[in-house]
Amino acid sequence: MTVSEPAPEPDPRPEYHWKRRLALGWILLALFAAMLAERILQAGGLEETALFYVGLPALIALLVTFGARPRSPVGVALCVTTIGLALAGPLLNEGVVCLILSAPLFYGIAALLGWMVGRDARNGGYQSLLVLPLLGLVSLEGVAETSLLTRETTGRDSGVVAASADEVQATLAAPPDYAEPRSRFLRTVPFPTPVRATGHGLEVGDHRTVEFTDRESLGIGAEPQERSMELRIVDSTVTDTGGHVVFTVETDSTLARWLDLHTAEVTWQERSAGTELNWQLHYTRTYDPSWYFGPLQRYAMDEAAGYLRNTFTPGRD
């Protein structure tokens, strides 16, 4: 009696490769849909709203995790978000600063939705769908000028410098000598850095022209763009022991893609230990969602005000 050999098991690799190709197809579909959505938002003037910075990563994460059915939804969602961010610079003509500052928000939304979808897949439920209405509501911030937090904000910094009021006044009236920021945040994120300034005086009507480092766009074939800021003094009170000067921003090609800076206000007053020097930067937040970009821009402008205080400190190190 001849014992027949067992039939070989079917090779699982064709099905495995087919699933990988299907997952890749969904990933490409998600990226295409995201780029199409960005073009639609840009055409409608909504590229600075929460619909872009919350809705777009949510769209990518949902398409990938629901469509591709990966073993690790969070990992795939984060991977695709990384690919999307890498494509955003060359395709959408974004700068490094915008990508760096928005990346945590993109990753956070993608990871949250990927984790919820993965949990539902393990438990056999659809609880993650309950968060979609809330996410959709949050994504509408910035549309039709809606905002949860105030847009008019002020960055501040104050401290006592070892100099007399006359020395501070002379330093403020002369063209500044810009140096590298002491702030680790300003050094880490490639914000525009002032290079030189022209103009002098503290009388009403006196002008300043500040030149910044060129804008290095990641767009394909993009050339460096010069950046500058024109300021004019609209209010000035100077005494022997202190003063108060208000600069209004007339033109700005430096921060216009990030926020709308209105005025820079400097006050100094002689004290027993030196001179108290105070800077205030009044601006309008233009990016949403407010709960993310509001604190981020406020911290950046506080650090910028501190940079100005250090720049205009007489005899600084």
Helix (H) or strand (E) holding 62: helix 56-68
pLDDT at 109: 84
Pair (90, 159) in one structural domain: no
Distance between CA atoms of 158 and 166, rounded to whole angstroms? 18
Q: Domain of 62?
A: 13-142
Pair (34, 120) in one structural domain: yes
pLDDT at 33: 65
34 within some domain: yes
pLDDT at 133: 77
Taking a C-beta distance cutoff of 8 angstroms, is the pair 32, 120 a contact?
A: no
Pair (177, 293) in one structural domain: yes
Pair (185, 101) in one structural domain: no
pLDDT at 16: 44
Pair (187, 74) in one structural domain: no
127 within some domain: yes
For the chain of 317 residues, list the mean pLDDT of each consecutive stretch of 10. 52 51 59 63 62 62 58 72 68 66 85 78 69 75 79 95 95 92 88 92 96 73 81 96 97 86 97 95 92 93 96 83
Pair (290, 169) in one structural domain: yes
Q: Which of 108, 142, 176 marks a domain boundary?
A: 142
Q: What is the value of pTM for the model shown? A: 0.74
Bridge partners, residue 283, by sequence: 153, 261
As a dihedral over the C-alpha atoms of residue 282, residue 283, residue 284, residue 286, rounded to 10 degrees, the angle is -160
As a dihedral over the C-alpha atoms of residue 212, residue 218, residue 221, residue 223, rounded to 10 degrees, the angle is 0
pLDDT at 28: 59
Taking a C-beta distance cutoff of 8 angstroms, is the pair 213, 195 a contact?
A: yes
pLDDT at 167: 95
**Cis peptide upstream of residue 289 (ω within 30 degrees of 0):** yes
